[in-house]
Structure 1
Amino acid sequence: MRTIVITGGTDGMGAALARHFLRAGDRVVVIGRSRAKFDALLATVTADDQSAVSRAEFVAADLSSIADSRRVVEHLNANHERIHALVLAASFIRQRRHTTPEGREASWALFFVSKYVFVTGLAALLGAAERPVIVNTAVPGARVDAIDFDDLDMSEGFTFRQSNAQQRRANELLGILATDQNPDLTYVTWGPARLVRSSFAGEIGMGMKIAAAVLGPLLGQRPAAAVRPIIGLINTPTPGRAAYRGTKKLPLTVGDHDDEDATRLAKAVEADL
């Protein structure tokens, strides 16, 4: 039986993946903020298969908190022997800079630092599985110079666009660190091919709210359809790094100093943990 860990697994694409793998007979660990949403998700599965109750686990956490992220990693290490797939799908969109109670910029903490904690902290459990997979729902293709190494928290000149680009590029570099440590690991940065019908959790502007309300039902994919490529990547992994939009494989973004940048990024994050 495989163990699948999904952050952000109570909503949208994360929930669709949790339902799929529970129905497929896998053990699924869902990490999210709402126990009620997890219970509702599980009810849709157990209506047809009561065995899912014994294979489903919920861990409550706010992953913009690094303390919470580390607590979850410690829990997983203490209670599981291996992880076959780790899906990093937690999301909470903020269009403006926000500081967490820990003093970190919230988007950077959620969309990168927490992922770094999971990828590095669960390396041994992933290494214990045959052909392990990490799917990081960070849209690939950010420019190579998107990271401000001197101001990772973007305390000066924050913009939503620059914040998004920095997170995406950092997650590509995280793949270098992860696959260097484990050559058998499949590490994929992935984004949907088109709009997904979603609640767009977060603090978003009126324009995005209108787009979600109007365009989502008209043009958006249902989450269950959007995640089919992820399911394929987990079921038939290819070791190494890759990038996808939907089912379309994209060339990896390659810079002249990728290895050095990955090492520099890791040192900066470790110094702040």
Structure 2
Amino acid sequence: MQTVVITGGTDGLGKGLALHYLRQGARVLAVGSTPAKGEALLAEATALSAGDRATFLRADLTSVTAAQELVTEVEGTCSSVDKLILCAQRYRLFGTRTVTHEGFEHSFALAYLSRYVLSHGLRATLESAPRPVIMNVGTPGIPLGRIHWDDLQLTRRYNGTKATLQSFRANDLLGVAFAAVHTNTPIRYIGYNPGVVATGMTDHLPQPLRALTKASFTLFATSVAKAVTPVSHLLDEPPGEPFTAYRTTRQLALKGTAFDKDAALRLHRLTQDLLLRQRS
């Protein structure tokens, strides 16, 4: 029986993938921060006669400590993990700069640091599986945003869009660095852009933007059910290369600043230093 771990697994695309793999007979550990959504997922799993294979793990992934504790919990629960799917995200496009209780800028912590900790932290557990794969769901292939090397926490001239886009660009580099650092790993790391998917991400936007975005989703967005199909195909038959990036079904060329190896290793080292300082 395969074991699938999904962050953001109680909502949107993450939930769609959780239910898909439960229907396929896998064991699914869905990570989320909202108990009510976790209970709803477990109820749907029970309706599929898969309640014994579904687990909800509550975690606030804006916290590095919580992400590290999640690694320990998964390692203590699972002898191996076949698929790690990283979907947890909450867009903060407006408003003032917010920091976590550990002092990290919110988007950087949730959308990048948690994925860094889980990717590297669960490596040994993934390597115990026959065909391990990590999928980092973001926006590879979208040439927007950059890494603010001199101010990763955006303490100066902050805005939410800049923070969100930096987290996406950091995740592109995370995949590159993972493959470069772990040269002998059997894990296949995939950066994946699902395109515009009709999810609950609009719930956190202010009005009237929330209503406008929901209306545009109705017209243009792919349903979660349809978006699951190409994602699951990649997860079940991952490419042979250590790191690849896709925009829906199109494989992207790993060139340009988005996938620069030197930049990826630089960010990797900076992240290691940040996490070491956080622990001390």
1:78 to 63, 76, 79: 76
1:260 to 259, 262, 270: 262
Corresponding residue SS for 2:20 = helix
The answer for the alignment partner of 1:24 in structure 2 is 24
CA distance in 1, matches of 2:134, 2:258: 25
Q: Is the 8 A contact 1:89 1:137 kept in 2?
A: yes
- Per the normalisation by structure 2, the TM-score is 0.89
> Partner letter of residue 123 of structure 2?
A
1:186 to 185, 188, 198: 188
> Partner letter of residue 114 of structure 1?
S
The answer for the alignment partner of 1:171 in structure 2 is 171
CA distance in 2, matches of 1:199, 1:247: 23
Q: Deviations for 1:122-159, whole angstroms, at most 9, x for unmatched residues? A: 11111111221111111103559821222111111223
After alignment, is 153-162 or 10-19 more displaced?
153-162
Corresponding residue SS for 1:94 = coil
Corresponding position: 1:126 with 2:111: no
Gaps of 5+ in 1: none
CA distance in 1, matches of 2:66, 2:169: 24
Show the 5 A alignment for 1:85-234.
Answer: 85-95=83-93, 96=95, 97-141=97-141, 146-180=146-180, 181=182, 182-193=184-195, 195-200=196-201, 203-206=204-207, 208-234=209-235
Percent of aligned pairs with the same amino acid: 36
Q: CA deviation at 1:104?
A: 1.0
Q: Is the 8 A contact 1:143 1:165 kept in 2?
A: no
Corresponding residue SS for 1:17 = helix
2:56 to 32, 41, 58: 58
The alignment of Structure 1 onto Structure 2 pairs a total of residues equal to 270
> Partner letter of residue 88 of structure 2?
A
CA distance in 2, matches of 1:17, 1:256: 27
Q: Deviations for 1:99-132, whole angstroms, at most 9, x for unmatched residues? A: 1122110001011011000001011111111221
Gaps of 5+ in 2: 276-280
Q: Is the 8 A contact 1:94 1:202 kept in 2?
A: no
Q: CA deviation at 1:75?
A: 0.7
Q: Deviations for 1:29-64, whole angstroms, at most 9, x for unmatched residues? A: 100012221222222232232xx2221111101111
- Per the normalisation by structure 1, the TM-score is 0.91
After alignment, is 248-257 or 148-157 more displaced?
248-257
> Partner letter of residue 64 of structure 1?
T
Q: CA deviation at 1:93?
A: 1.0
Q: CA deviation at 1:248?
A: 2.0
Q: Is the 8 A contact 2:42 2:55 kept in 1?
A: no
- The alpha-carbon distance between structure 1 residues 198 and 256, as it changes in their structure 2 partners (threshold 3 A), is closer
The answer for the alignment partner of 1:68 in structure 2 is 66
- The alpha-carbon distance between structure 1 residues 219 and 256, as it changes in their structure 2 partners (threshold 3 A), is closer
CA distance in 2, matches of 1:165, 1:136: 15
Q: Deviations for 1:146-183, whole angstroms, at most 9, x for unmatched residues? A: 21222111111223333233212211211122223144
> Partner letter of residue 184 of structure 1?
P
The answer for the alignment partner of 2:278 in structure 1 is none
Aligned Cα RMSD in Å?
2.1
After alignment, is 206-215 or 235-244 more displaced?
206-215
CA distance in 1, matches of 2:14, 2:233: 15
Corresponding residue SS for 2:163 = helix
